Structure 1
Amino acid sequence: MQNDHIAANLPSKNFTETIKFYQSLGFEVQYLSEQWLILQRGHLQLEFFPYPALDPSNSYFSASVWVHDLDALYTTWQQMDWQQFSASGRMTELQQQGDLRIFNVIDCHGSLLRCMAL
């Protein structure tokens, strides 16, 4: 059986803002330097590199988040106070797309997390 996993290197306009956003989703800082940030939530790990010139409204960066219990993750993240991030951070409804169940999270710097069931 495959563990939940993420394989991603995403941009961060500001590490402090990135940490605040992802901590609200239950991630913890595993590593932080001026050049790299690693956040982890259970088996889920995201890595970030600094990109101060990033325009979140034109970001094309994304990651796939594969989990065994998509409903639990969706319910947990749905209860977050998304208004604290205004329009920059948001989450879509859980959808069925063919054989795939999916919801999306757009982080505070415009990166897309496609959350899907294993």
Structure 2
Amino acid sequence: MTDRAVPNLPSRDFDATVAFYGGFGFEQDYRDEGWLILRRGELTLEFFPFADLDPASSSFMCRIRVDDVDELYRSITSAGVVEKTVGFPRVHPVVTQPSGLRIGNLIDIDGTQVNLIENPAP
């Protein structure tokens, strides 16, 4: 197994989290009353229950780094997540940053910001 770090994110409702992330390719890998693991290829997201989370004031955040950020972004918008500047869920388009990295953002149903970052070409 390769060394790795895995985001540990809040979920107000595991069923809703599975449905939301499942819309763009994440599949449930493990679940019990206190833990949820979703996978999409090599990507892994883990969730813990946080029923009282206020999405509007959430400060949770993680980054997903992929080889094809446009494909991931299309999957998210095809699942019905729309581009907008407030509310959740929402996405912000992929743009090239001054660093040269291409980055978009997803705000999930629980207010967690997920940066969508394209791996630099070798």
Aligned to 1:115: 116
- What is the TM-score normalised by the length of structure 1? 0.87
Aligned partners of 1:7 and 1:64 also within 8 Å: no
Matched residue SS, 1:39 = strand
- Matched with 1:34 is 33
Distance 1:9 1:15 in 2: 13
2:105 corresponds in structure 1 to: 104
Matching residue's letter, 2:61: S
Q: CA offsets per residue over residues 48-81 of structure 1, 9 Å max, x none? A: 0011110000000011100011122122222221
Aligned partner of 1:45: which letter?
Answer: T
Residues 7, 63 of structure 1: 8 Å contact kept: no
- List runs of 5+ in structure 2 lacking aligned partners: none
Q: How many Å apart are 1:82 and its aligned residue?
A: 2.3
Gaps of at least 5 residues in structure 1 are none
- Report SS of the residue matched to 2:65: strand
Could you tell me how far 1:6 is from its partner in structure 2?
7.0
Match in the other structure for 1:46: 45
Under a length normalisation based on structure 2, what TM-score does the superposition of the two structures give?
A: 0.85
- Provide the rounded CA distance (Å) in 1 between the counterparts of 2:5 and 2:107: 15
Instruction: Give distance in 1, aligned partners of 2:37 and 2:29.
Output: 5
**Larger mean Cα displacement after TM superposition, 72-81 or 34-43:** 72-81
- What secondary structure, in the 3-state scheme, does the structure 2 residue paired with 1:93 have? strand
Number of residue pairs aligned between Structure 1 and Structure 2: 112
Structure with the bigger RCO (C-alpha within 8 Å, sep 6+) is 1
